[in-house]
Structure 1
Amino acid sequence: MLPDLNPRHDPPRLLLAVAHPDDETFGCGSVLAHASSLGWETTVLCATRGEAGEPAPGFDLAGRPLAEHRERELWAAAALLGVTRLALLDFLDSGMDGDPVPGTLCAADPLAVTDAVRTVAEDVDPDVVLTLDAADGHRDHARMRDAAVAVATERGVPAYLQALPRSLMDRWVAHMVTARPEMAHLQYAELGTPDEEVTVVLDSSEHLAVREQAIALHASQTSPYEGLPPDLRRDFLARDHLVRA
């Protein structure tokens, strides 16, 4: 699956470190499904329960906190994607902007975040670490990216960033400016990773159906792929773009 990977374990072990419930599916669902289909052991480490998210229009919280719904959705989607183990940290979601309040991921000492990732990595002993590249502008994604890459470097294992190529993000923004102009992401210039920095492109089209099912399980959240033209949606979901950190 990864051309330069020399795993020390059989089966290989992958650790995915993300900030919020749904990052594992919206961002890395096809990689997880692909690894699982090859018999890999996959661990998802999620830092928060997504408290600062916005419920999808029409979603009924049924009197329960949003975080409770999002955690349930995370467990269900991870199981569908064949995840071997799920680890949840106790940081709070920082939200997109404003001063991060105490207890949130971005208010925490970066060394404390790295230490929390390190503790899980010591138990998992991964052959490769995966995280989001944070090219969507979300500060929590950047915090987890930095911690995950630091821990992978310490352990001497490769780290890969799930990338959003700029060419795709330009097409996404062009559509969203008309379809959903209220989206906070649209305020950020040059979303995405320059295409020339992408080092691995995985054809994950055979896992498209299961990823679509996992996306649907995150019913409390509006998918970033919601309402996209079919060709653009498929270009996002049927290929994975990775950058070697």
Structure 2
Amino acid sequence: MTEHTDQLEPMPTDWQRALAVVAHPDDLEYGCAAAVADWTDGGREVVYLLATRGEAGIDTLGPAECAPLREAEQRASAAVVGVSTVEFLDHRDGVIEYGVDLRRDIAAAIRRHRPELVVTLNHRDTWGPGPGGYWNTPDHRAVGRAVLDAAADAGNRWIFPELISEQGLEPWNGVRWVAVAGSHTPTHAADARPGLERSVKSLLEHRAYIEALTDEEPESYVRTFLTTNAERAAARFGGRPAVSFEVFPR
């Protein structure tokens, strides 16, 4: 496998509002919470939008019991990194469908919150380059692709005109970048060091999910996962542990 040796560009900093859109509670905490912590410390506003409540994520809990638990964990997790607004779209966990309904819901959120930066998670078929990469989940693929499309939909008044007539949501063409966390072809990075400890605490708020996922001690598991990923990106970011993103400018 060919190693990428080109250096990653620093993430843009000339923005004030970001909207982070992912499929499940914990996706952002595994993906980019260290960067979010640093952004909010700098006075920027970040809003989280979750397509589901993660109700299919714990085998030992039925969806009706699991959904409010994972929602509460997500809100607590977001608060650790300075995010106070967390919204849920209530698509069904595990069977999210890419299509106009999902695009409309995300475009509506973009029009409501008017971000300059939109963040999502890996939308490609695999984690890591194929053929050795792990297969990505349908939910991640559907939401990531819909986010990339909805960033354009949000600015076009003739796509989803009902957002204007029914919800009063005027077009927003101010999205300047869509940044994809967890991509195996990153272009940019954010220094993970200022927010790394809070990213560990943020992911640990998903304790019920983590305890069902692994037999490892939760803090050891979380710290190892996040620090390993940050250090892996350091070789392409001047030796600094980092959160990497594939940035699509608009």
Measure the CA separation in 1 of the matches of 2:83 and 2:145.
23
Q: 1:17 and 1:229, CA in 2 relative to 1: closer, same or farther beyond 3 A?
A: closer
State the TM-score, normalizing by the size of structure 1. Answer: 0.70
1:117 corresponds to which of 106, 128, 141:
106
Whether the 8 Å CA contact 2:96–2:142 is kept in 1: the answer is yes
1:131 is aligned to 120
* Structure 2 match to 1:203: 191
Contact 1:55 1:66 in 2 (8 A): no
1:35–1:67 Cα change, 3 Å: same
Asked if residue 159 in structure 1 is aligned to residue 178 in structure 2, the reply is yes
Equivalent in the alignment of 1:168: none
Cα displacement (A) at 1:87: 1.1
Shift of 1:230: 7.1
Pick from 21, 38, 41: which aligns with 2:42?
38
**Contact 1:36 1:42 (8 Å CA) reproduced:** yes
- d(CA) in 1 for partners of 2:222, 2:20: 29
RMSD: 2.9
**Cα distance in 2 for residues equivalent to 1:23 and 1:230:** 16
Q: C-alpha offsets along residues 16-45 of structure 1, whole Å, 9 cap, x if unaligned?
A: 000001112111211211211111111100
CA contact (8 A) 2:103 2:150 kept: yes
**1:220 alignment counterpart:** 208
- Quote the residue 1:180 is aligned against: none
Unpaired segments ≥5 residues, structure 1: 95-103, 165-192
Q: 1:30 to 1:20 in 2, by over 3 A?
A: same
> What is the rounded CA distance, in whole Å, between the counterparts of 1:25 and 1:230 in structure 2?
12
Counterpart of 2:194 in 1: which secondary structure? helix
Unmatched segments (≥5 aa) in structure 2: 1-8, 128-135, 156-172, 231-240
Aligned pair in 2 of structure 1 residues 213, 144: CA closer, same or farther (>3 Å)?
same
1:55 and 1:221 in contact (8 A); partners too: no
CA contact (8 A) 2:200 2:223 kept: no
Deviations 1:173-192 (A, max 9, x none): xxxxxxxxxxxxxxxxxxxx
Q: Deviations over 1:38-63 (max 9, x none)?
A: 1111110001011111258xxxx6x9
Which deviates more, 226-235 or 147-156?
226-235
**Aligned in 2, Cα 1:88/1:229: closer, same or farther, shift over 3 Å?**
closer
Supply the distance in 1 between the matched residues of 2:222 and 2:87 (Cα, whole angstroms).
Answer: 35
Kindly provide the amino acid, as one letter, of the partner of residue 159 in structure 1.
V
Separation (CA, whole Å) in 2 of partners of 1:123 and 1:205: 32
Secondary structure class of the residue paired with 2:91: coil
Classify 1:217/1:228 alpha carbon distance in 2 versus 1 (closer, same or farther; 3 Å). closer
* Correspondent of 1:105 among 96, 99, 104: 96
Rate the CA distance shift 1:3–1:79 in 2: closer, same or farther, 3 A. closer
Whichever residue aligns with residue 160 of structure 1, its letter is: A
Q: How many positions carry a matched residue from both structures?
A: 195
Percent sequence identity is 24
Which of 235, 239, 244 lines up with 2:242 in the alignment?
239
Question: Match for residue 177 of structure 1?
Answer: none
